Amino acid sequence: MPETLSTTGAPDASASRPGSRTLSLQGALNLALDELLAEDPKVLVLGEDVGTLGGVFRVTSGLAAAHGAERVFDTPLAESGILGMSIGLAMAGFRPVPEVQFDGFAYPAMNQIVTQLGRIHYRSRGALRVPVTLRVPSFGGIRAPEHHGESLESVFAHVPGLKVVSPADPQQGYSLLKAAVRMDDPVIFMEPKSRYWQKGEVVTEDGHSDVTGARIAREGRHLTLVAWGAMVARCLQVAELAAEDGIDIEVVDLRWLKPIDTETLARSVAKTRRAVVVHEAPLTAGLGAEVAQRITERCFGTLRAPVERITGFDVPYPSGDLEDEYIPNIDRILFGIQRVLEYKRG
C-alpha cells in the first residue's frame, strides 16, 4: 500500500496487527515527535527549516501546524546558536529536541556539545540537568556532497556526559527516540539517513519492548556480526547470504553507542566464539576499536580468532560518486567473515 501523509506528516498505512502500523523510518520518527509534543508541553522541536518546511528529510513535517510555532520553530543557520539555545532552554526546564540538518553541520557546534552539553550536570554537582536530544541525520549512502555524509559516533561517544544512540529500523527509531527525549541526560540521536525511507512494522504502544542496551537482530551460532545504524540492514543481508553456504551468523544491533551494552556482546560472542564489527567511520580510533576491545577483554579465553573490523577508510568521507568504494559492502563483510572463520593460530 502506498504511504499517505497524515495531518502530522507521518505515513499512515493499515496495521498488520493491533497497535501497529507500517511506517518508514522517517514516518516513525515523525510519529514519535508528534506523540512526545502532545504528551509533554515542555518538549520543543527546533532547528533549521524544521517548522514550515518540515526538515530536509521531512521528519518534522506537519508538526508546527499541529502543535504551534511556539513548540516547533525555525532557527537561524547557526548550529552553535541552536545548541546554545537548546542548552539554555533545558536548564530552564524544557526538553528541547534540536536538529542539525546533516551530520557534518555538527562541527560548528562542537564547543557547545563538548564543553556545555556534556559537562553542565557534572560541573553543577548534579544541580542542573540538560535533557537535550540532538537529532543528527548521519552516515552516508545518499550520494551527498562534502559535510553531508559523516560518521561522528566515536567523536560523540568520547565526550563524558553524553549518551549516543542510533536506530536501525522504523521500530527502533520510534521507540528509541521516545526513550531518549524522556531521559534527563543529553542524548545524541544519530539517524541513518540512507534508511529514512525503509518501511517496517511499528508497534506504537509504549512499553512494548525493551529499549535499553543492544538487541539481537538475528540469532546465530557460528559468528557474531556487530553493527549499528544503516550497517545493521547490510549485515542482515550478509547473514542471509552466508546461510546459503551453511554459515549461521548472529547479528547484534548495538543501538546504544554509549553506554555500550558489553553484557549482550559478551553473551553473543561466548556462544559463537568469533566476531566481526562493521561500521562506516574510518578504521583508526573508530568505535569498532572500543567494541572489539570489550569483546576481547570479556571473551579472550573463548575467542577462536582475533576480532575483525570492516570499516570505512582513513580518508575524509568521499563525495557521492565514491561512496560505494568507501562504505563497507557485502563482499568486504563476507571476506572479513571468511578470514575469521579460516583463522588458525600459529
pLDDT tens for 322-343 read: 899 999 999 999 999 999 999 9
Q: What is the pLDDT of residue 122?
A: 95
- Model pLDDT, residue 19: 76
HSE value, Cβ hemisphere, 13 Å, CA-based, for 95: 19
Say which of 67, 121, 147, 148 is annotated catalytic: 148
13-16 LR contacts (CB < 8 Å, sep 24+): 16/201
- The whole-number pLDDT of residue 209 equals 66
Residue 144 and residue 62 share a domain: yes
Residues 191 and 270 in one domain: no
State the amino acid at position 63 in one-letter form: L
What residues pair up with 199 in beta bridges, in sequence order?
A: 24
* Same domain, residue pair 235 and 295: yes
Residues 246, 148 share a domain: no
Where among 152, 175, 203 does a domain terminate?
203
- Best CA proximity match to 27, nearest among 2, 9, 40, 44: 9
Give pLDDT tens digits for 272-306.
Answer: 999 999 999 999 999 999 999 999 999 999 999 99
Q: Percent of the chain, pLDDT > 90?
A: 85
First to last CA, the chain: 56
pLDDT at residue 15 greater than cutoff 70:
no
Domain presence at residue 305? yes
The pLDDT-based confidence of 140 (bands split at 50, 70, 90) is: very high
What's the whole-number mean pLDDT along residues 11-24? 67
Indicate whether 208 belongs to any domain: no
| 174 and 245 share one domain | no
pLDDT tens digits for 89-105?
A: 999 999 999 999 989 89
Query: Same domain for 148 and 290?
Result: no
Q: State pTM to two decimals.
A: 0.93
Are residues 139 and 241 both part of a single domain?
A: no
Residues 164 and 268 both lie in one domain? no
Task: Give the chain's domain count.
Answer: 2
Q: Is pLDDT at 77 greater than 80 in this prediction?
A: yes
Question: How far is residue 2's CA from residue 8's CA, in Å, rounded to a whole number?
Answer: 17
Considering 154, 179, 203, which residue would you say is the last residue of a domain? 203
Residue 210 lies inside a defined structural domain of this protein: no
Q: Is 148 a catalytic residue?
A: yes
pLDDT given at position 304: 97
Q: What is the rounded CA–CA span in Å between residue 235 and residue 243? A: 12
Q: What integer is the mean pLDDT of 177-198?
A: 97
Q: Whole-number mean pLDDT of the chain?
A: 92
Instruction: Quick: pLDDT tens for 190-233.
Output: 999 999 999 999 998 776 567 999 999 999 999 999 999 999 99
Position 134 scores a pLDDT of: 98
189 and 227 together in one domain:
no
Q: Is residue 259 part of a domain?
A: yes
Residue 193 located in a structural domain: yes
Yes or no: say if 178 and 206 are a contact pair by the CB < 8 Å rule.
yes
Instruction: Kindly report, residue by residue over 237-258, the tens digit of the pLDDT.
Output: 999 999 999 999 999 999 999 9
For residues 254 and 335, give the distance between their C-alpha atoms in angstroms, rounded to a whole number: 22
Q: What is the CATH number of the domain that holds 271?
A: 3.40.50.920
Same-domain check for residues 138 and 247: no
Q: The domain containing residue 161 runs over which residues?
A: 4-203
What's the CA gap between 337 and 343, in Å, rounded? 10
DSSP3 helix / strand / coil % (the chain, rounded to 5): 40, 20, 40
Cα–Cα distance measured from residue 189 to residue 138, given in angstroms and rounded to the nearest whole number: 9
CATH number reported for the structural domain that contains residue 168 in this entry: 3.40.50.970
Whether 226 and 275 map to the same domain: the answer is: yes
Distance CA 277, CA 310 (A): 6
Cell digits for 8? 502530522
Task: Please indicate, yes or no, if residue 209 is contained in any of the structural domains.
Answer: no
Q: Which of 203, 232, 252 is the last residue of a domain?
A: 203
Counting every residue, how long is the chain?
346
Torsion 186-192-248-278 (CA) sign:
negative
The model's confidence at residue 346, banded by pLDDT at 50, 70 and 90, is: low
Supply the DSSP string of 159-207, one letter for each residue: STT-EEE---SHHHHHHHHHHHHHSSS-EEEEEEGGGTT-EEEEE-STT
pLDDT tens readout for residues 1-14: 233 333 333 444 44
Mark whether 106 and 133 lie in a shared domain: yes
- Name 95's bridge partners: 43
- The larger pLDDT score, comparing residue 23 to residue 321, is at 23
Instruction: Supply the DSSP string of 25-83, one letter for each residue.
Output: HHHHHHHHHHHHHHH-TTEEEEETT-SSS--TT-TTTTHHHHH-TTTEEE--S-HHHHH
